[in-house]
Amino acid sequence: MGQELGNPEIPRIRVAPQYVTVVDIDRRFVEVSDSFCQLMGYSREELIGKRYDDLTAPGTTDVSSVYSLFAKAGYMHGLWLFVSREGKRILVRYESWLRPDAKIEGHMELVELGCRG
């Protein structure tokens, strides 16, 4: 039911890849950009294997449901609220798609650092 990335019917937001992540089917980080590590306050080694859920601000998103919808659509964009190692809330705009290797690549840009959520 997923759609091809080249399909012109899929809207593209074209989020600037200020921060880049790649997660596997279990929502675990397998790749992270240096800038994402700095933003979150973790080293790459600490982030690899950590679940997306672990960095999502509590009570803001049902990550499991979002990923179920994403698996059907193959593409999503919107806003996401993370919490850094220091406890700062970080609001990003994201664009994510399912890659041919079944991993999810996400590009994010900062909307607000230290926001209330």
Beta strands 75-83; 29-32: pairing state: unpaired
**Average pLDDT score over residue span 57-69:** 90
Tokens in use for 38? 């700095």
For the chain, domain boundaries: 19-113
pLDDT of residue 12: 58
CB 79 within 8 A of CB 91: yes
pLDDT mean across residues, the chain: 87
Q: What is the pLDDT of residues 9-59, one digit of tens each?
A: 555 556 667 899 999 999 999 999 999 999 999 999 999 999 999 999 999
CB 111 within 8 A of CB 79: yes
Name the CATH superfamily housing domain 19-113: PAS domain (3.30.450.20)
Return d(Cα 77, Cα 81) in angstroms, integer. Answer: 13
Return d(Cα 90, Cα 95) in angstroms, integer. Answer: 16
Q: Give the closest residue to 15 by CA, choosing from 79, 61, 69, 98.
A: 79
Q: Give the closest residue to 39 by CA, choosing from 82, 100, 98.
A: 82
